[in-house]
Amino acid sequence: MANIKDLKKKIKSTKGTLKITSAMKLVSAAKLAKAQQAIQSSKPYANELELTIKTISALVENYTHKYLQNKPDNNLEALLVISSNKGLCGGYNSSLAKEVRKYLASTEKDVKVFFVGKKVKELILKEVNFGKMFEFDRNDPSFIEIEEVGDELATMFTQGEIGTVKVAYNQFNSAISFTPMVKQILPMSLDPEEKKSLEERFPFDFKYEPSPEEILDTLIPETFTATLYTCLLDGTAAEHGSRMAAMDNAVSNCKDAIKSQTLKMNKLRQAAITTELTEVVSGAESLNG
Q: Phi/psi zone of residue 88: left (φ > 0), alpha (ψ -120 to 50 degrees), beta?
A: left
Please tell me the predicted confidence (pLDDT) of residue 163: 94
Q: What type of residue is 263? A: L
Please tell me the predicted confidence (pLDDT) of residue 197: 80
Please tell me the predicted confidence (pLDDT) of residue 179: 96
10 Å Cβ neighbour count for 176? 11
Sheet of 177-186: strand order equals 129-134, 110-116, 76-82, 164-174, 177-186
Instruction: Answer for the pair 246, 254: CB distance below 8 angstroms, yes or no.
Output: no
Mean pLDDT of successive 10-residue stretches along the chain, which has 289 residues: 82 94 94 91 87 80 84 93 93 96 95 96 95 88 92 94 96 92 88 76 75 86 92 94 94 94 90 81 73
Please tell me the predicted confidence (pLDDT) of residue 289: 58
Name the pTM for this structure.
0.87
Helix (H, G, I), strand (E, B) or coil at 215: helix
Strands 76-82 and 164-174: parallel
Q: What type of residue is 200? A: E
- The CATH number of 24-245, from 1.10.3210.10, 3.40.1380.10, 3.10.20.740, 3.40.50.10490, is 3.40.1380.10
Every domain of the chain and the residues it spans: 24-245
Cβ-in-10-Å burial (0-12, 13-18, 19+) of 190 comes to middle
d(CA 106, CA 87): 28
d(CA 269, CA 257): 18
